[in-house]
């Protein structure tokens, strides 16, 4: 079956530091890949996505590239802010599949 | 533009009581899901539905039942609540097979004492 493995947290960074959260996946088909973000007390919301190999998803300064050869979708941001403190989930979905597969989430705390 | 709405947002139950959580979406999505989120456990799928009148079990279905009588609504029932069901519950919906992004509700925080 499908699975998503993401970097264990928590991750603590100083403001303006570089962020990488690793995500690797296994899938039987050709999935779409996602990063969701969950701010305290809220539900998950889509941060970015990529639907095919070599696509780069980007939003709010975050980027992730769909790497089929390494089955990875690492999240990066060049300069984090305190407001980026949240839980980040990597996920995959396949066309014609009823369920999405989520990683366990990585908690990011950014200190001023 | 409401998206996915969950009611209630908070609830405290006594052990053995029953309750129903309601999820409503206004995006005409085919797929709907119920997850629970516990500290250190990520999201765990309870039940899901791929269309009106259909339901299927997820990873942790025991102690829960669901119904999808109308396309826009997905109900999660607890027949006899247990302290182990204390959690935050999230509903999500997704469009048809070509629309794979999920939209989440704000969550229901349930405490069973």
Number of A/B CB contacts below 8 angstroms equals 59
Q: What's the CA gap between A78 and A101, in Å, rounded?
A: 27
Q: Between chains, do B100 and A94 touch, taking CB under 8 Å as contact?
A: yes
Q: Between chains, do B90 and A43 touch, taking CB under 8 Å as contact?
A: yes
Nearest residue in B to A48, CA atom: B101
In 3D space, the residue among A21, A35, A43 whose CA is nearest the CA of residue B37 turns out to be: A43
How close, in Å, is residue A82 to chain B by CA atoms?
22
pLDDT at B1 over 70: no
Residue A67 Cα to chain centre, angstroms: 13
Residues of chain A with pLDDT under 50: none
The CA-atom distances, in angstroms, between A40 and each of A2, A11, A44, A84 are 28, 16, 10, 11
Nearest residue in A to B50, CA atom: A98
Fill in the DSSP letter of residue B79: S
> What confidence tens digit (pLDDT) does each residue in B54-110 have?
999 999 999 999 999 999 999 999 999 999 999 999 999 998 766 678 999 999 999
Residue that the structure tokens 């009148």 belong to: B53
Q: Between chains, do A100 and B56 touch, taking CB under 8 Å as contact?
A: no
> What confidence tens digit (pLDDT) does each residue in B2-37 have?
799 999 999 999 999 999 999 999 999 999 999 999
Q: Which residues of chain A neighbour B58 with C-beta distances below 8 Å?
A: 99
Option in A43, A100, A103 nearest B105 (CB): A43
Tell me what pLDDT residue B100 has.
Answer: 76
Tokens of A59: 């939003």
By DSSP bridging, strand A86-93 and strand A100-102 are antiparallel
In 3D space, the residue among A96, A79, A77, A102 whose CA is nearest the CA of residue A4 turns out to be: A102
CB B79 within 8 A of CB B62: no
In 3D space, the residue among B71, B78, B64 whose CA is nearest the CA of residue B50 turns out to be: B71
How close, in Å, is residue A95 to chain B by CA atoms?
5
Q: Which residues of chain B neighbour A98 with C-beta distances below 8 Å?
A: 31, 48, 50, 56
Q: Between chains, do B100 and A105 touch, taking CB under 8 Å as contact?
A: no
Nearest residue in A to B103, CA atom: A45
Residue that the structure tokens 């990683």 belong to: A103
Q: What's the CA gap between A10 and A21, in Å, rounded?
A: 11
Tell me what pLDDT residue B63 has.
Answer: 97
Option in A32, A42, A89 nearest B100 (CB): A32
The 3-class SS string of B38-74 reads ECCCEEEEEEEECCCCCCEECCCCCCEEEECCCCCEE
Question: In this complex, is the C-beta atom of A93 within 8 Å of any C-beta atom belonging to chain B?
Answer: yes
The CA-atom distances, in angstroms, between B77 and each of B19, B20, B62 are 6, 4, 11
């Amino acid at each position: 079956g499908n699975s998503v493995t993401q970097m264990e947290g928590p991750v603590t960074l100083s403001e303006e530091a570089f962020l990488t959260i690793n995500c690797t996946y296994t899938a039987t088909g050709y999935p779409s890949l996602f990063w969701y973000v969950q701010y305290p007390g809220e539900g998950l919301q889509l941060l970015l996505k990529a639907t095919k190999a070599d696509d780069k998803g980007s939003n709010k300064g975050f980027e992730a590239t769909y790497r089929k050869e390494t089955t990875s979708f690492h999240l990066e941001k060049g300069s984090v802010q305190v407001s980026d403190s949240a839980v980040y989930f990597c996920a995959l979905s396949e066309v014609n599949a009823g369920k999405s597969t989520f990683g366990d989430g990585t908690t990011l705390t950014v200190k001023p | 533009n409401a998206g996915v709405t969950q009611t209630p947002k908070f609830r405290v139950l006594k052990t053995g009581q029953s309750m129903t959580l309601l999820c409503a979406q206004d995006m005409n999505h085919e797929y709907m899901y119920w997850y629970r989120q516990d500290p250190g456990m990520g999201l765990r799928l309870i039940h899901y539905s791929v269309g009106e009148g259909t339901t299927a079990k997820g990873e942790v279905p025991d102690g829960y039942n669901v119904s999808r009588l109308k396309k826009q609504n997905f109900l999660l029932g607890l027949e006899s609540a247990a302290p182990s069901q204390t959690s935050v519950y999230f509903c999500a919906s997704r469009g048809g097979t070509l629309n794979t992004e999920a939209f989440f509700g704000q969550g229901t925080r349930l405490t069973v004492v």
